[in-house]
Structure 1
């Protein structure tokens, strides 16, 4: 525990939550507020709460009797909540993360906030916010050193097709409020989630100022209109999910307990540059600038194994891929996760004549 984590900076005024009786708990209704562009009001930010412990959780085997829920803390200070002295939220920085694929190398994933609104009350240690986000996945530049990435990268360039080699051409994964695909807005609300058991290693009561949570359901990828690109993007997402235990699987619910440090003052220049600072650090292979998060693990502390998950949930998909280019049984060819990924990539290349 540090003083920074527990002692708020001076200057808190408050009052925004109380400006509308519908804003308050037990059922905060923020619909009277417009959904704001996340970077349009940085000049209004005065105070912030940093997410020093971003604890994520998701099911690696969705729909099964034992869904094998996974828990992982992303890198510290990866996200922040920014607001005025009165408590009106004007910006929310959401996480970026790296993942590794044996055949594709380093992958980037970012949760991009496309709209937000909300309030903070430092006196009660409460907050309520609504968010709209989209998931974005693309190759780290270092991935081009990988044989398969270079082959595909060059072939896409020759065909003048967009390749997810930058955030601008990233694969876009849609999200929505759990159980309501037509509602792209979902709430960030106080306390930890009560939708699943939380292990002790994912709790930070003794260190944090307060905690809130959100749940977002993953939707399909956004289509580009080009069949080859859309099928490759789906392949890329499938391989990303192999690496992360179906974190962004269509229909899965990604839950997030966000543990905050005490409120402090905003450096507006640093806030504007924060996302690029993180992205540059990940892209250049330096990892998270404020240190790594934890490895994904199950409730009992057992580390998540991408290979075990593949054998259980993706075997049928891999066998289907293999059937188009090999007559040998899949079991005799697939001995590692790298073999499985290579099979899926070869199938894609042959199918599209690349």
Structure 2
């Protein structure tokens, strides 16, 4: 059967990678470039690569002898790499997801790119970029049906404490380069991660992937709000969320993505801005993704990730105790 893939658009020039010898592999150094706001230079974008297979991985029991690594593909075509004809990267839209916990309902989990710099090379299908991000978590609409949410809301709406029911009041989680808590900037590099085994179901050469890159980020503490009651509440919500989501955002855990790119295409700057704005307003766990859903989390052998209900019940008791003590 003939290849139905459209040809790569003309116009690739290249050369930005070669403009500074420090940019080269095996250890690209991009510090001569300014960290740029992710939406500040859309008018410079000319070419793009869409991430059709954002493969996410994390340890569900970090620190254990068997950390039970899980693998999950996020919704396709949320993340994109945008660059010029010469290959300078000016915008990166990062993978996002909605995650549901039986105890507290669904929450939106957004990785917001606050700064980026880098290059892409279509000639040899490589890239190197630096990113700075913050994680944001807030309750999605369906959580309002949960008893615990209703209790929280009734208490918070009669107080001066902000409740994480919208992105504006989201729980913010700090991130940094794995093992370097003083370094909030981390790299996006060519190839798949080499720090853990990758199952066949998380590889996409045979699906037509054009190239692949990888990034890893360690989860730090919650960013303080200045309201001690809210800070303690947010920590407790995150603790319950982590139980239901397999310690996904547990402090000290490292999150890793192998991002499998579609072949290069041209950028429609108005469409890019609209796409970025749609996901800046954010994915909603209840509404899903217009480009299709991701996969359920599973272990290397393909068996599904599951939550230990007895531990979750203990966390519900902690929340009940917190309400009685603080609210």
Is TM (by shorter chain) over 0.5? Answer: yes
Distance 1:286 1:69 in 2: 27
In structure 1, the gaps of 5 or more residues are 316-336
CA change 1:130–1:284 in 2 (3 A) is: closer
1:92-136 CA deviation, whole Å, 9 max, x = no partner? 001221111223222100000010000000001000000001100
Distance 1:284 1:36 in 2: 29
Q: How does 1:73-112 map to 2 (within 5 A)?
A: 73-112=73-112
CA change 1:270–1:295 in 2 (3 A) is: same
Q: Determine whether 1:289 maps to 2:263.
A: no
Alpha-carbon offset, residue 281 of structure 1: 8.0
Q: How does 1:1-354 map to 2 (within 5 A)?
A: 3-4=4-5, 7-206=7-206, 207-278=208-279, 282-283=283-284, 285-307=286-308, 315=311, 337=312, 339-352=313-326, 354=327
TM-score, normalising length: structure 1 = 0.87
Distance 1:278 1:116 in 2: 17
Alpha-carbon offset, residue 159 of structure 1: 1.0
Alpha-carbon offset, residue 280 of structure 1: 6.6
- Aligned-CA RMSD value: 1.8
**Count of matched residue pairs:** 325
Alpha-carbon offset, residue 146 of structure 1: 2.5
CA change 1:175–1:284 in 2 (3 A) is: closer
CA change 1:57–1:48 in 2 (3 A) is: same
Alpha-carbon offset, residue 156 of structure 1: 1.4
1:188-222 CA deviation, whole Å, 9 max, x = no partner? 00000110000000001122000010111110110
CA change 1:217–1:292 in 2 (3 A) is: same
Alpha-carbon offset, residue 3 of structure 1: 4.4
TM-score, normalising length: structure 2 = 0.94
Which moved further from structure 2: 134-143 or 210-219?
Answer: 134-143
Alpha-carbon offset, residue 342 of structure 1: 2.8
CA change 1:7–1:246 in 2 (3 A) is: farther
Moved over 4 A (4+): 1-4, 278-282
Which moved further from structure 2: 58-67 or 187-196?
Answer: 58-67
Which moved further from structure 2: 55-64 or 280-289?
Answer: 280-289
Distance 2:226 2:281 in 1: 30
1:42-95 CA deviation, whole Å, 9 max, x = no partner? 111111100000001111111111111111111111201010111000000012
Alpha-carbon offset, residue 143 of structure 1: 2.1
In structure 2, the gaps of 5 or more residues are none
Distance 2:285 2:277 in 1: 12
CA change 1:236–1:7 in 2 (3 A) is: farther
Secondary structure of the 1:53 match is strand
Considering fraction of residues, name the structure with more helix. Answer: 1
The answer as to whether partners of 1:96 and 1:279 remain within 8 angstroms in 2 is no
Distance 1:255 1:282 in 2: 20
